[in-house]
Structure 1
Amino acid sequence: MTVRTSLARLGATALLALGALAGTAQAASTLTPAGTPIDNAAKLDYSVGGIGQDQICSSPSGNSTKTCTFTSFKVDNKINLNVTTTDTTPGVSAIPGSTSTLTFVLTNEGNETQDFALSTTSNLSGPVGYMFNGTSATTVADAFDPTNCKIYDNAAPTTEITSIAGLTAGTSVTLKVACSIPPGQVNDEIGAVTLVATAREVGKPLVALIESTTNSPTVVDIVFADGSGTSEDGPRDAKHSARSAFKVSTAAIRVTKTAETICDPVGGDKSGTPPYAPKSIPGSYIQYTVLIERVDTNTSRSATLTNLKDTLATANVTFDSDFITGANVAGSPACAAVGAAVNPGAATSTGKSFKVIWSGAARASFGGMTGTQYLTASGNYTAPDINVNWNSVLPVEPGYAAGELKPGDKLQLIYNVFIK
């Protein structure tokens, strides 16, 4: 705005004194609020021929009297906002199949109370940059999309929101974004989520603000002054965004099941010269081995085995409840005495149905770093289902929770069937 002062007479000598501002001054830490009237007038002292004259006070249209008419305008609405994340690099640790949470902070850096619409995006791909703690982190590949993301005010963490109402200028609000981590992700994979905030008029969170194209002194014009946060927003669009990420931290367990034909009723077992290769025909003795192993190196995550279930095809096979001798299966004399031969040292375990072999860190229940247990069918097999409870097989002991498998640990569960 330009203040114009009209002089009463040409050739006069004058001393110009500016009137004090009538509005609120901008403090060092605060912006002058939008809508604040700024009123002022210029007062002129002068003399003619050495004789003092009445002071002249200015007006917007020009004045020659001492009556002041303020030159006035209203402070316009500077729309400025900032979204950051307080999460730290390399991202929030998350387990596949869980719901995990990111943290963002929205600050109203404008000069007016505003509503803010909130939204998230997670369908990113390829190299993506992050702004952990406001500092650029190394660009990494976005490997998966977190799903079902919901936004919460940190002050009310159980109520989902889509906007923030009446955020006062200069204040901030902490926001939580909770997302589902899809199952099947592997260690160190990154899933990025962007929180986007868009300034709105108070009480109208669904109505977009329109930036003023003209400047009217009597109207609070709207000026977009925001910068760009991520690729989800641009400069001067009344939006700002920040990106955080989940980093998968899990345990990788591999399960391998193999079947070996131990003997058949025609040629017997593998003993003899030359060795015989038993075939899988009716009456043959089949040994299943289920290998369970922890194949990652992530010591920060505990993996706990609960139950193993195997439903046998009992229309075609018979479970061998005493695999040490196999004597319970009629009609297979060639295989009846094979059990002791294929399970050396197990003669004292006659009547047992399962063999469990441990390999890994020392466990007292297995007598050390390696060891063997035998389990009966009772409690572990009810036709047609094998159900082994690992909390019982791997009890609580020093350094281990019940059923726990640590990196490098291995278990083998061995049991047999006869083909009908």
Structure 2
Amino acid sequence: MIGSSHAVGTDAGKSVENTFTLDYQVSGVSQGTITNDSAYTGGAGDPSPVIDPAGPTNFTVDRMIDLAVTADNSGLVVPSNAQDRILQYTITNLGNDHQAYSFSIADVAGDDFDATGLEITYSRAATDLNGDGDTLDACEAEIVDAPLTATVPGTAAGSASYTCDIPADLPFTVELSGDIPDTLADSNIDNLVLVAETRNPNAWAVEAVAPSVGGVTANDADGTNTITGLAENVFADGTGTSEEADKDGRMSAQSSFVVTSPDLVAEKRVWVLRTESDGTACAGEAVPAVEPTTEYPTPGACVLYTIEVTNTAENAGSDAENIDVSDILPENVAFVSATTSGFNIPGTLTFKKADNTTNCDGTAGETCTVALTGAGLAAEVGTTDATAQLYIRAIVR
């Protein structure tokens, strides 16, 4: 199972035992130690101990039900008529036991428009939940990019499909995708709230007693602490939006689609082109169609930074002009070369050391600013996004 020590505290269901000893003398003569430690043995020649037959004091750590929901890209800029635009949320189990979660969408009333075709997917890195040495079990496998059903607006939290078991302290992402209607004005906003509700997992981390799998996790029914026995559920969640309440086992966050046209988005990634290379060989490396997965960023490796710029506008005349891109390479990598592709106005490409006058040459300890200025990226009329790239090759020092 997942290790028993979490940043949020001791596992639910864990029994915490404690013992004591009391030593004393009468007229200078040591008496038998008083203790509740049933395994206690005194030293040679010591008086016989007095052991409390009730044994050590103990209590069971209760189950804290808590979660966080964060909107990762709130206020996502989108153009009219865009398809499958994604609002990303991060969900984190802040409790001290495995939990599962279900999700629903609340489309806030009173905003400017409503996105259509709303869908949810969730994913996380596979985790060996049952400690059998692999991540091939059904529950472990299905959580990776698994779609959730019943996610149309208005679906009540708790009624949709639910995730696999999520260990404490493990963040995972939820993506809410939607289609943006046509002919919207700039700055029109659609506010959307993702609501996560705590569900019972397949198994608790410590307790052998299985919960009602997939059921909505309930707070301790009687509100009275039972010091030992099975862990009791104690809600500790706060409030994210008006779609849920304090200590109800749910949490939510609002994010928004914001219309702007034309719309430029940019993404940066890094690929390892060759594990062992040099400046000459690295400069000649072609850009592969897919990321190489068998090369490693060890010292001497050739890496390719790609900054991809996308104009998602789909109407004639929605061209982006005077595009400026600046990237500062850290001293951990040595600049090799920079090129561009796809800009209909090429612009000017420079690569300068910190003094902003001398070209980068891979000298040890230098930082290098790679800059593209005055470039242009015309919109593609129709449904195809226009893309262009700035490629930077470097050697890992």
Higher strand share: 1
Q: TM-score, normalised by structure 1?
A: 0.47
Bigger-Rg structure (1/2): 1
- Determine which structure has greater relative contact order: mean sequence separation of CA pairs < 8 Å that are 6+ residues apart, divided by chain length: 2
